[in-house]
Structure 1
Amino acid sequence: MASSLDLSYMKLVRFTFSLIDCWPHRDMKSKKPIPLANNKFLFCEFRLTLPWTKAYRQLIIDFVENIHIFHYKGDSDYSKKMHYKIHKVSTYFTIFLHVQMYSGIILFNITPLHNNIKAGLFKEKVSPNDTIAIELSLYYDLPFDCQENLKAYFAVFIFNFFVSFVNTFTMCINELFISLIAIHLWGHFKILQYNLINFPRPKEIKLNISYDEESTITNLLIKYMKQHRVATDFLSKTVNVFGPTMCLYYLFQQISECIVLCEICKLDAEALGKYGILTLVIFQQLIQISIVYEIMSSMNEKIINAVYGLPWEHMSVRNQKIVLFFLQNVQVPFNLRALDMVPIGAQTMVVIIRTSFSYFIMLRTIAYD
């Protein structure tokens, strides 16, 4: 494989992004696989305006060409092992999310159709007084009647499929990309931690004797400092690009979780068929991003301990200064706040879920009273 895009899950990610024109084909000078896809016709979706920005497109390019763990698998045996591990996790994660998306879209739209067929949508009416309450996945105030006209009904049915498709992909693919970035950055930090823990030690420890008269130790320290800077800089770019989106995403989670809980609380076949997968996806997306970034955030302390564990006491004064500078850099906490206000992690996840259930219980109590 010559490129990270040759990996199976990256092909799927590229294709999925291309369906709603969120892949920077022009910037990467690649052929567009879906010629008719154009997000400029879907500008009402806030997240679909992100591909218009240069920062978003450059973020994808940097991830594919520079950050992807594929480019580092030849550095060492541990890097190769970490590449395979990240590849498996990313593949399973990508496939699982796609199965959720397609299942949710199909069930959300097919359930009302199934109910209409059971009610006799395609059967001749027994008497003129018979009426069928036509169900739709989404309802509109239309200038024509789709209750009596089958052609109008199926036109709305197909349109609802399209709307569900666009909204589902818009809701999920950015979370997929953000999660993949976090997984790969976690891999970078794990490789860096391993390299620091296994940093070359002096063969004989003697008082006041330096073991790095040559430039080997200096070059290694500078190399690891650059690795840390590249990973943290890309993390900051990711948070800056997706900052406004993440704030709106948390607001969307707060509202949508209350709605789907109210819809699914009936626990009948219709509610579970129409909203079951949707509820699972909404909660899973929030938990997934929060847990992934919480795990990556925990690497900060591990990197600090690994740098402090370097045999700095046996280095020359010059290299001790480099280690000190390195230690100062790694002590800066990761910037995991959307718009520098909302923390991205488990704490925010718990608050949103707890608040959603509180609102749901309140609304359910009011409804029954």
Structure 2
Amino acid sequence: MYHNACNMPSYAIPANDLFSLKYMRRIRFLLNIIVLWPNQEFGGSRIRRLVSSLYRCVLISFVILNMTTTISYLKKYVNHDLAHSYVNMMLGSVYLQRLFLPFQKKFCLIIKRFVLEFHLIHHKHKTENTQVYDRVNRMCAVVTAISVSHAVGLPIFYNGIPLYNNIKTGMFSKHRPINGTFQHSVYFDLPFDQYRTISGYLVVFIYNIYVSYNVTIGVCIYDALVFSIVFHIWGHINILIGNLNQFSLSSEQFSQEDIFNKLKDFVRHHQIIKEFMACTSDAFSTSLCCYLLFHQLSGCVLL
């Protein structure tokens, strides 16, 4: 049933015009950094698809390694205040779940359908849809800009605050404080000393920056993609309502055949919206459940 309702139609429109929109280019570019964009659904060479799958497996391995070493760290320091590490673990779980999405056919198909069929750019040739199209694009552009600023800025603050504390406490000076240790944004239980040696600290510091940017992209930019899909669903609903209102006011000007054809178009449009919403709910339901669970648990831990 899913395949029949959510698979792409044969009249799919090329996506070149779609990526002339800056916010769509940003979303695709940033999600490609963590290979979360389903390029395999849009063609490309077999080697590129293979490299993307391998790199995605590497990212998944990094997350599992991070969570394993963090759990080991938590066991060693169970009596300390470790709320920060618990939140890192939960955020890593959300990111890990999203890394598996490109392996799921229903996620890939819904993105492909959104890009090639459902996006309002494919319907802007209808003059009555221009106002809704422009409004939805502005909303998507604003949300994407905010998400990009978060993806760029949050890792700087996240890793910059421990760095500032280390500088302030004199950990980089010749005369370090007695029993002083380096602070990190994420703590791991590793086989080398990351708390007292500069070389060990730098390895973990650079790695944490890399991981932080990957996670913020996986959270913020993925959310921007979901927001864009939701805004376009809202746009389609508003277009359908507007067309129905206009039709009810001017239906006497048309013949019975014209009225029948317009009603048929309305029913078809409603069916497209209904099917796309059902497929979207099916594709993103697990991700939304994990995300809401993260907010519930992290809120309890932080409080």
Structure 2: gaps spanning 5 or more residues: 1-14, 65-95
Q: CA deviation at 1:198?
A: 0.4
Q: After superposition, where does 1:35-74 map in structure 2 within 5 Å?
A: 38-43=55-60, 44=64, 45-74=96-125
Q: CA deviation at 1:79?
A: 0.6
Q: After superposition, where does 1:350-361 map in structure 2 within 5 Å?
A: 360=303
Q: Aligned partner of 1:16: which letter?
A: L
Q: Aligned partner of 2:182: which letter?
A: I
Q: CA deviation at 1:130?
A: 3.2
- The structure with the larger Rg is 1
In structure 1, distance between residues paired with 2:21 and 2:262: 30
Q: Aligned partner of 1:56: which letter?
A: F
Contact 2:251 2:259 survives alignment (8 Å) = no
Q: Secondary structure at the match of 1:84?
A: helix
Deviations along 1:308-362, one digit per CA (max 9) or x if unpaired, are xxxxxxxxxxxxxxxxxxxxxxxxxxxxxxxxxxxxxxxxxxxxxxxxxxxx2xx
Residue 29 of structure 1 aligns with which residue? Answer: 43
In structure 2, distance between residues paired with 1:96 and 1:30: 30
Contact 2:144 2:221 survives alignment (8 Å) = no
Q: Secondary structure at the match of 2:275?
A: helix
Q: CA deviation at 1:142?
A: 1.7
2:169 aligned to which of 119, 138, 160: 119
Q: Secondary structure at the match of 2:100?
A: helix
In structure 1, distance between residues paired with 2:266 and 2:57: 42
Q: CA deviation at 1:239?
A: 0.5
Residue 8 of structure 2 aligns with which residue? Answer: none
Q: CA deviation at 1:38?
A: 2.3
Q: After superposition, where does 1:1-369 map in structure 2 within 5 Å?
A: 2-30=16-44, 38-43=55-60, 44=64, 45-76=96-127, 78-125=128-175, 130-199=178-247, 200-202=250-252, 212-213=255-256, 215-259=257-301, 262=302, 360=303
More helix by percentage: 2
TM-score (norm 1): 0.63
Deviations along 1:97-120, one digit per CA (max 9) or x if unpaired, are 111222211101110001101111
Q: How many residues align?
A: 249
In structure 1, distance between residues paired with 2:208 and 2:158: 10
In structure 1, distance between residues paired with 2:25 and 2:44: 13
In structure 2, distance between residues paired with 1:24 and 1:190: 29
Q: CA deviation at 1:2?
A: 4.8
Q: Secondary structure at the match of 2:130?
A: helix
Contact 1:105 1:164 survives alignment (8 Å) = yes
In structure 2, distance between residues paired with 1:87 and 1:235: 19
In structure 2, distance between residues paired with 1:220 and 1:191: 14
Structure 1: gaps spanning 5 or more residues: 204-210, 263-359, 361-369
Q: Secondary structure at the match of 1:202?
A: helix
Per the alignment, do residues 46 and 10 of structure 1 end up closer, same or farther by CA in structure 2, a change over 3 Å counting?
same
Q: Superposition RMSD on alpha carbons, in Å? A: 2.1
Deviations along 1:175-230, one digit per CA (max 9) or x if unpaired, are 22221111001001111111100003325xxxxxxx733x1111100011111111
In structure 2, distance between residues paired with 1:9 and 1:93: 9
In structure 1, distance between residues paired with 2:297 and 2:135: 36
Q: Aligned partner of 1:39: which letter?
A: R
In structure 2, distance between residues paired with 1:122 and 1:244: 45
Higher RCO structure, 1 or 2 (CA under 8 Å, sep 6+)? 2
Contact 1:5 1:64 survives alignment (8 Å) = no
TM-score (norm 2): 0.76
Q: Aligned partner of 1:73: which letter?
A: K
Q: Secondary structure at the match of 1:198?
A: helix
Per the alignment, do residues 171 and 2 of structure 1 end up closer, same or farther by CA in structure 2, a change over 3 Å counting?
closer
Q: CA deviation at 1:166?
A: 2.3
In structure 2, distance between residues paired with 1:100 and 1:86: 21
Q: CA deviation at 1:9?
A: 0.5
Q: Aligned partner of 1:28: which letter?
A: F
